[in-house]
Copies of this chain bind each other. A is one copy, B any other.
Amino acid sequence: MKLVAREIDLGSRSPTVLLNTADATELGVHQLDRVQIEHDGRLSIGIVEFTEELVDPGTLGVTRRLGHLVGSVDVIPAPQPTAVHYIKKKLDDVELEKHELQRIVLDIKQDRLSDVELGAYVTATYTNGLSLAETMHLAECMADVGDAIQWDDAVVADKHSIGGVAGNRVTPIVVSIVAAAGLKIPKTSSRAVTSPAGTADTMEVLCDVAFSLEEIKQIVTETNGCLVWGGSVNLSPVDDKIIRAETPLSIDPPGQIIASVLSKKKSAGSTHIVVDIPYGEGAKVESLAAARELAQDFKRVGDHLGMTIECTITRGSQPIGRGVGPILEARDVLDTLAGDGPEELRLKSLRLADILLESCGCESEAAEILDSGRALAKFREIVAAQGGNPDVTADDLVPGRHELLVAADRDGVVTHVDNRLVSDVARRAGAPKDKGAGITLHCRVGDEIHTDDPLFTVHAESKDKLADAERLVGQSETVRVRSRDEALVERV
């Protein structure tokens, strides 16, 4: 069918084309069918949407992506992309071959699938699961379509956490220890989306975090380590697109987690990785058994990709560390490196660092490296290489000046510190945008508490945001204190 193409601002990443319903009927295409568009001897594929108003009969509306199609075009129905057949196959619970997953990954990367099809893909991998073989293939394919860093070293260390625990800023400490031990560790981290701080947000308090692959390579060559934001490089471009479709449905199938994490590590050129899997009430993985299974699968898929994976299963039912929020966490990190941080943050960092060092064939001397000040010196080196002030101290980092001290209203024992609520209150207070906003925790589960003892302090940079946070504190129970017998037995 001869049509006249014109660009229409659809804000869509996929190659959507708008057909007037009358033209669509004549062409014999359904909504979301593909059409082949010929223009100046070149062929493009479009995904059809109908409209009665936005374009008239005879006109083809094209998104910016197809913006080169201007003027006379010839449109005919095209077959569904093969990726859709493979998604259908997965829907029918048939195990996918590597080349089939490759096709799906490639089509997702190039935004060739409609959202309905993408929704079907993530749903199918959730309801029918991904086999170990599928997970291996998927990780490989996802790495293949991303950029990669090459290292001359035989051993390149790395670290990842499944996340979901407030505070828990072990990464800068682990990276500093491992880099100080002489190993390369090119660590990329995320920014917070629904949490009050990602490692990238925390590091941004001290230095730049957005670098190109070239720059990352140079920083690591200079210092052995880096602590940068993964979002400015393109190690696994398909990952974000899959997560976009999974998030609204709150699905996060284990096979997809493994493929996402390991594809990025593979592209980063890492060979030995410690993966931290926090588990427990409110964490991403709720049971020990599920955590162990996930750990085994991580190791197997890593094996397949030629990487050595060590997993740590850690208690994730309450925050780790004292501070929650970019500046407060950066202070904890600096304090710990200086030998004066919260005990659990120090212990967890040392344990993870030792496991990673051992895995890489080094001695497990994390405590020595930390206590001797070598880790702190290495951290300052990395901060400097990333354009920050290497002489910064915890005292230079000032939390928001508006404060709210929340105290216990009874005697008893702390039975729960809610990760989710700690995060929500810190976000209401302004984190991660307001770097000084967040929470300082004054207690941990098991602590004996008397009426009026401080439980936590909320910090904010603005009075309004502190009031917002205070409202949420009033409506919920961030820190649960119960009498000794209530702590043991809850009557329902």
A30 near B123 with CB under 8 A, answer: no
Stretch from A109-117, A288-296, A342-350 at the B interface: A109-117
Stretch from A6-14, A302-310, A395-403 at the B interface: A6-14
A194 at the interface (CB under 8 A from B): yes
Known: A194-B28, A244-B30. A249 touches B10 (CB 8 A): no
Q: Give A29 to B193 CA distance when docked, in angstroms.
A: 7
Tell me the smallest distance from the CB of A78 to a CB of chain B, in Å.
Answer: 12
Q: In the complex, which residues of chain B have a beta carbon less than 8 angstroms from the beta carbon of A10?
A: 9-12
| Residue on B nearest A247 in the bound complex, by CB | B30
A487 at the interface (CB under 8 A from B): no
A148 at the interface (CB under 8 A from B): no
A250 at the interface (CB under 8 A from B): yes
A249 near B87 with CB under 8 A, answer: yes
Per-residue B-contact encoding for A113-126, CB less than 8 Å = 1, 0 else: 01111111011101
Per-residue B-contact encoding for A210-228, CB less than 8 Å = 1, 0 else: 0000000000000000000
Per-residue B-contact encoding for A447-462, CB less than 8 Å = 1, 0 else: 0000000000000000
Q: Give A170 to B61 CA distance when docked, in angstroms.
A: 39
Q: Give A88 to B122 CA distance when docked, in angstroms.
A: 12
Q: In the complex, which residues of chain B have a beta carbon less than 8 angstroms from the beta carbon of A119?
A: 115-120, 123
Q: In the complex, which residues of chain B have a beta carbon less than 8 angstroms from the beta carbon of A194?
A: 28, 30
Tell me the smallest distance from the CB of A416 to a CB of chain B, in Å.
Answer: 23
| Copies held by the complex | 2
Tell me the smallest distance from the CB of A3 to a CB of chain B, in Å.
Answer: 15
Tell me the smallest distance from the CB of A90 to a CB of chain B, in Å.
Answer: 10
A32 near B248 with CB under 8 A, answer: yes
| Residue on B nearest A24 in the bound complex, by CB | B193
A108 at the interface (CB under 8 A from B): no
| Residue on B nearest A119 in the bound complex, by CB | B119
Known: A10-B9, A11-B51, A84-B248. A28 touches B124 (CB 8 A): no
B26 near A116 with CB under 8 A, answer: no
Q: In the complex, which residues of chain B have a beta carbon less than 8 angstroms from the beta carbon of A11?
A: 8, 10, 16, 18, 49, 51, 54, 61
A483 at the interface (CB under 8 A from B): no
Contact sample, A vs B, 27 pairs, CB 8 Å cutoff: A9-B9, A11-B16, A11-B51, A25-B193, A25-B433, A28-B192, A29-B193, A30-B194, A32-B245, A32-B247, A32-B248, A80-B250, A84-B249, A87-B249, A88-B250, A88-B251, A91-B123, A91-B251, A114-B248, A115-B115, A116-B116, A116-B119, A116-B244, A116-B249, A120-B120, A120-B249, A127-B128
